[in-house]
Chain A
């Protein structure tokens, strides 16, 4: 049977050998890192964004590249998923965007800081992470679900204004596509006239105090475009 000195040799030899391999692989990983992470795109904004990310311990709720606290969504692909405009609006008042849901601290970032956070997240989303996160691989139609009655709407014919698909769609659905935080907007045009919709979008609180709908930063032409679109949804 093994003697004590052999056992010691096993421990010391094993430790040395595997530490050496580990150091070797580390050197190679660092060597490949610039290419894999697009280090040439590490702009001033990205680095500032990382600082803001760390200074506020965002990882204490969110996860990034799957590392974090699992309390709030993984943000690796958030720029691809939500778009910069939406994140920009969201950061102004996170709770307004998901009323009654899990709360996020309102950090009062400046316009510049928000841009930096977004730049950082955008850079992270483009890291070559060996195909992570994987796309969902159980097709919804493989699960037996009752047929959803088809919503009759002329939504398909109309093209959505850009702002609408960037922001509104995160909470509202049209033609079955979009979020379910706010009501579906398929027939909103037959319920409200364009004047009302315009006033509603300008300041939801003024019309219905206590509503969960946030006041969105829309320019006049943008608002007009959305009102025209919504009025046509009948």
Chain B
């Protein structure tokens, strides 16, 4: 790391690791419930496990984005963070709000809207927290002498993510409008501004890891995020087919969803091309694996698998089935989870001064978790297709069909175990790096710029 204040990123990353582990635990609870082993039903019913699982995902990814921003922004701005103290306060309050929310879920305290289950009073605290975070980042950039595209795209992404949280806090007594504006948060985050954040982080990592000229990388960053917004904004329409909105959404959503894979394809081609043009080899190969892996897996999971069921004629059958869960898993993994793990893999040696990237465990973490996740996606895909045919096309009863697909969930649990082994390797490596050290300040291990 270049600057003392970047150390704060470590604590965000450590929180990430903790929340990710917890997310996996809740995933297993749900997986077992699906094969009929729901011994925890009285304490953690499925809806609690589900809300906890998805909210932990959102929270750990956002924590990762914040950590990434605290790491990247000082380096891009070429100065210390505006306030380290504020960053620690912000992390602490963030964790407190998260813990209260998750405990609340176990006592039937929530807002009960998919992905936005956090109770309303806590929403306000989240807003205050995120504003604090943005203030800190904005002041750092404001007082910097250097402006870079990467820095600005990342900031713009974080700002929009914060602004777009607000429509989710309006109460509608009409289910259709409620759902309509809920997607402003959920879709426009995941398929809009989060991709902006992703582009910013990817650009930073590519600049560091490939040594390709910043100007070239940043030019294409604009093109890639431009494609994202071009397809992603009106692509929201694919959530509006069947919730009571006008019929033109079928056409708008269909066409722009069909363009969404292009944005991800652009992202993948961009990353691979920059890698091919690399000046020389960066020693931190593992960070490169996660970086390029994220660009490619996001194309498969978010781009291709998303496209596979957003066309209206297909979606009318797959909507609200396990096909969505199938796409969701690989999309989040490829686009965002792998990206956060990429930042962590790149930052940890720099923060601590320890070169653990030469060992085997990093590769084991990468391959085991990726093959595991692909296995989970495959199992969900088969279960989902079976469900669509039996329940939707043939009209069989929901519960009867669920019994037919138990076998695929056993497969999913096995793949999830492999995935967990990979993540365990990653976490063990994370712990072995130890704490950030003052001796590591002022130099980056093996950077080319």
Contact = CB atoms under 8 A, between A and B. Distances in A.
Contacts of A11: 222-223, 225-226, 229
Contacts of A60: 46-48, 50-51, 112, 114, 117
B174 A39 contact: yes
A47 B173 CA distance: 6
A21 B175 CA distance: 23
A54 B179 CA distance: 12
Contact of B222 (A4, A21, A72): A4
A37 B244 contact: yes
Identify whether the interface residues of B are mostly helix, strand, loop, or mixed: helix
A212 to B, nearest CB: 14
A134 B175 contact: no
A2 B219 contact: yes
Given A14-B229, A134-B316, A69 B174 contact: no
B394 A68 contact: no
Contacts of B179: 65, 67
Interface string A45-80: 001001001111111110111111111111000000
A97 B30 CA distance: 22
Given A7-B223, A10-B222, A61-B47, A37 B246 contact: no
Interface stretch (A26-34, A109-117, A199-207, A213-221): A26-34
B242 A132 contact: yes
A130 B223 contact: no
Contacts of B30: 71
A159 interface: no
Nearest to A4: B219
Nearest to B396: A136
A37 B236 contact: no
Given A58-B112, A60-B112, A127 B175 contact: yes
Nearest to B182: A67
A29 to B, nearest CB: 5
A150 interface: no
B306 to A, nearest CB: 16
A69 B53 CA distance: 11
B46 A129 contact: no
Interface in B9-46: 30, 33-34, 36, 38, 41, 45-46
Given A124-B175, A127-B244, A130-B247, A8 B222 contact: yes
A57 B110 contact: yes
Given A65-B179, A69-B50, A74 B320 contact: yes
Interface size class of B (residues with CB under 8 A): 35 or more
Contacts of A134: 316-317, 392
Interface size class of A (residues with CB under 8 A): 35 or more
A22 interface: yes
A22, A64, A67, A98: residue with the most chain B Cβ atoms closer than 10 Å: A67
Interface stretch (B65-73, B321-329, B367-375, B423-431): B321-329
A66 B47 contact: no
B319 interface: yes
A67 B113 CA distance: 10
B321 A70 contact: yes
B273 interface: no
Interface string B365-404: 0000000000000000000000001001111011100100
B116 to A, nearest CB: 10
A217 to B, nearest CB: 23
B219 A3 contact: yes
Contact of A18 (B38, B50, B233): B233
B244 A61 contact: no
Given A14-B226, A129-B243, A21 B111 contact: no
A60 B110 CA distance: 11
A49 B233 CA distance: 32
Nearest to B41: A103
Contacts of B245: 29, 32-33, 36
A47 to B, nearest CB: 5
Contacts of A71: 30, 33-34, 46-47, 50
Nearest to A34: B174
B226 A7 contact: yes
A190 interface: no
B346 interface: no
B176 interface: yes
A147 interface: no
Nearest to B229: A15
A138 interface: yes
A15 B317 contact: no
Given A2-B223, A60-B46, A70 B176 contact: no
Given A65-B320, A70-B325, 10 more contacts: A4-B149, A4-B222, A8-B222, A11-B223, A11-B229, A18-B229, A28-B246, A57-B47, A57-B51, A136-B395
Interface of B: 30, 33-34, 36, 38, 41, 45-48, 50-51, 105, 108, 110-114, 117, 149, 173-177, 179-180, 215, 218-220, 222-223, 225-226, 229-230, 233-234, 236, 240-250, 252, 316-317, 319-322, 324-325, 389, 392-395, 397-399, 402
9 contacts: A4-B218, A11-B225, A60-B51, A61-B45, A65-B242, A102-B36, A130-B250, A132-B316, A135-B395
